A and B are shown apart, each in its own frame.
Chain A
Amino acid sequence: MAERGFQVARLPGFATTAVLVFIALYLPIFTLVAYSFNASQSVAVWGGFSFGWYEKAWANTQVKEATVRSLIIAVSASGIATTVAALAALGTTRRARFKGQTAIYVMINQPLMVPEIVTAVALLIFFAQIKVATGYQGLGYLILAHSAFCIPFAYLPIRARLEGMDLSLETAAADLYASSWQTFRHVTLPLLLPGIIAGAMLAFVISLDDVVITEFVKSGGQDTLPTYMLGQLRRQLTPEINAISTGLLALTVVLLTAFFLLTRKKE
């Protein structure tokens, strides 16, 4: 047989390891989804099939409020983060290399590197002072905090898209009488759109899922869906939590599938 270099797939036990890894990744999720249809009160003992916990979660006003709050924050934060990220990406790629460019990449991607708990504590202290100074107690703090840590997630796909884009297209637009605004509107933006949508969806999912920073920054009565679920752990645990998790999972899967399809289409 012809030698084709090192191939991981040929190592002994490769198939077994792969299966074990997939089981470790997905079995807990399947269990979670399965037990969301459990008729019994227990998250561990199967008591027959039922949609009961979904109905209960649907009727739960606290869940409803937390969901609405989560969505408001995720939509606003991903919107802000994507706008900032798109501008940052344009500023860092549509020009000649400049001194300090790497430093700027690092600064933009800071939330990926600094431990989240550190940012959370810092924000708690910082916002506490602002709350005292202004008296404002609303969702603005959460939206701002989420926007900040969502920026790198929106920035990376947009930058990747821009870097793959031929600069001569913008030169050609200028040559064909387009002003800078027209060039952006008719050439740059349409070509960048898949990157922007991908970045926005990634930011949305990241915001929706956040616990640590939210837990530290939120004021009383500002539970998002993840922090509400965390709170439930301390009380009685019922399959209702499985039902909510499954709902969140479904939303994420839909978004990530859309993300995948959008980024693949243009290849």
Chain B
Amino acid sequence: MNAVNAVEARNTVKAFGQGDSAVRALDDVSVEIRKGEFFTLLGPSGCGKTTLLRLIAGFEMPTSGSILLEGQDITHLPPNRRPVNTVFQSYALFPHLTVAQNIGFGLTMQGRPAREVKETTDRMLALVKLEAMAGRKTSQLSGGQQQRVALARALAPQPKVLLLDEPLSALDLKLRKEMQIELKRLQTETGITFVFVTHDQEEALTMSDRIGVMSAGKLQQVGSAKDIYTRPVNRFVASFIGETNFLPATTVPGGVRLATGDVIELADQAGRSGAVTVTIRPEQLRLCDPAEAGALAATVRTLVYFGTDTHCHLELADGTEVVARLQSPADGEAGLAQGQRVGLRPVPGAARVVED
């Protein structure tokens, strides 16, 4: 092993409750988060992503397994002795302290000299562009400003890892977009490893170096945004990240046979045979002449206009519904109408077999 990972979870299990009624919030999760990367834990609520974050922060102890920070076992270290800081979903700013005192809190608790606390606080205020607010109480700030204070407060002690628990969920759309760029900038400037928890796939795709998709207490897939989008390992990942079509099929040599009887060529059958599920993204379906060889026969059901593109809901011969995303104004399909019979052809390599 060349570089030591920033954070590593090894076979971590976290169960809440006792005996038969115990719920496994985390079920044997192992993950390696590299130094200096922006790593996102993505999943629906209750999937265990926040629990994993709380284990890394030390707010919870795992039922079994271990947590390593730069190769050192910190599983049983209390939160105040871990060089890891958290940005809370509710921000959790101290209402009785000023903005500057909030930012300096961590350093003060570490017993750093007043001069150093002051210097670092000033630097952090500049980093999040809140110099003018230093003496204010946090309740006098807007949501976006409070968010920046929470970030500065967590960054000030220069943690080895910064944990962010859905920090953007309370902001409105426009501010959220700005903060996404801001977060990425801060991560690049400070070089600190970020572990970001979110249920918002768009947030995950735009900011992360790598994404860990979680569901039902298990880590489903880890990879870059592109990896996960183009090569989802299972049905959950395929449907959670972006929109997709699922088609029942059976394997045949060199491809799969759909329920309609049509055969799609596939390079990779994911090592499976027999009944499988095939996924094709809506933007990777093209309309063509129904008479064209190899085209799937389909009937247009509904057209939904989205501005830059149009979602065309179609029905295959066996009654399966699929969605194709066409660029609008659709070239050649300008005359598409409900009930029209068309041909459908997946872009080569677009179809993938996924586990259920």
Contact = CB atoms under 8 A, between A and B. Distances in A.
Interface of A: 166, 168-169, 171-179, 182, 186-187, 190-191
A190 B137 CA distance: 15
Contact of B106 (A177, A187, A190): A177
Nearest to B110: A177
B67 to A, nearest CB: 15
Contacts of B254: none
B135 interface: no
A174 B57 CA distance: 10
B140 interface: no
Looking at B58, B93, B95, B157, which has the most chain A CB atoms within 10 Å of its CB? B95
B78 interface: yes
B236 interface: no
The 8 tightest CB contacts between A and B, nearest first, are A176-B106, A172-B92, A168-B92, A177-B109, A178-B109, A174-B79, A175-B86, A190-B96
30 contacts: A166-B92, A168-B90, A168-B92, A171-B59, A171-B79, A171-B92, A172-B86, A172-B92, A173-B105, A174-B78, A174-B79, A175-B58, A175-B85, A175-B86, A175-B154, A176-B80, A176-B109, A176-B153, A176-B154, A176-B157, A177-B80, A177-B81, A177-B106, A177-B157, A178-B109, A179-B109, A186-B109, A187-B94, A191-B95, A191-B96
A182 B81 CA distance: 13
A109 B88 CA distance: 36
Interface in B155-211: 157
A168 B93 CA distance: 9
A174 B94 contact: no
Interface string B80-122: 1100111010101111100000000110011000000000000
A88 to B, nearest CB: 23
B235 to A, nearest CB: 35
Interface in B64-88: 78-81, 84-86, 88
Interface residues of B, number: 24
A190 B97 CA distance: 10
Given A166-B92, A186-B109, A191-B96, A176 B85 contact: yes
B272 to A, nearest CB: 45
A178 B111 CA distance: 10
Contacts of A187: 94
Contacts of A179: 80, 109
Given A174-B78, A176-B153, A191-B96, A168 B88 contact: yes
Contacts of B110: 177
A182 B80 CA distance: 10
Contacts of B153: 176
Contacts of A173: 94, 105, 109
Given A176-B85, A176-B157, A177-B80, A169 B92 contact: yes
Interface string B291-307: 00000000000000000
Contact of B105 (A168, A176, A191): A176
A42 to B, nearest CB: 55
Given A190-B96, A191-B95, A191-B96, A175 B79 contact: yes
A177 B110 CA distance: 6
Contacts of B93: 172
A89 B157 CA distance: 33
B109 A175 contact: no
A176 B80 CA distance: 6
A187 B96 CA distance: 8
Nearest to A266: B95
Nearest to A189: B96
A182 B105 CA distance: 11
Contacts of A169: 92, 94-95
Nearest to A182: B109
Nearest to A167: B92
B113 to A, nearest CB: 15
A46 B60 CA distance: 73
A212 to B, nearest CB: 40
A244 B50 CA distance: 63
